[in-house]
Amino acid sequence: MPTPQTESNRPGRFAAYIAARRSDPPRPLLLKAAALVDLKDHALDAGAGALNATTYLLDAGFAHVTALDASPEARKVAEELPPDRVTFVLSRFEDFAFPSDAYDLVNAEFSLPFIAPGNFAPVFTRLLAAVKPGGIFTGQLFGPHDSWNTPESGMSFFPRPDIEGFLRGFELLQLDEENHPGTTKLGEPKHSHIFHILARRPA
């Protein structure tokens, strides 16, 4: 049986996930997103986890990366990276003051669904407003058929039309959908319903 997602078990699961992800390569969607960015001044890794994406963005030429995550385990990983190029912020998305027009790239890999439903729309609006004009947003949202979509999860799930609505005002470069059974990074069975997003804010 899949392990349910709840607010109470989330810190331990996040810590285990970060440990499991430490040696993983950057995901293909991030590679594609970074290649679309002309000016690589400042990126935001939102829900940085094991900081795989942060490390890749530094290697890809971004001058500075802000890594945002609510897990103390992520902060420990961040201490291994150059402090003059990485700013780590220990915070939930709901509590982070997203600066407007600040980032050439905002990367939110598998982190946005953990925003509580009542907070999602205003938080995601602020996150998108943090992308510079001409900049790139990339990340994932979960669909309603995902097996973590239960009343006790405290997570957010959306059908495709809602996701397209959230991204109104952006040029939607890619919106790919997965809807199939599989296994999580922690080795648990899970039916995944995932939307992979790549979008550009008009200049």
pTM for the full predicted model = 0.95
Position 13 scores a pLDDT of: 86
d(CA 185, CA 187): 5
d(CA 4, CA 150): 8
Residue 22: pLDDT band by 50, 70, 90 thresholds?
A: confident
What 3-state class would DSSP assign to 78?
Answer: helix
Residue 9: pLDDT band by 50, 70, 90 thresholds?
A: confident
Assigned architecture for domain 10-200: 3-Layer(aba) Sandwich (3.40)
For tokens 């935001």, what's the residue?
44
Q: What percent of the chain has pLDDT over 90?
A: 85
Report whether 93 contacts 108 (CB < 8 A): no
Position 3 scores a pLDDT of: 61
Q: What is the mean pLDDT of residues 147-176?
A: 97
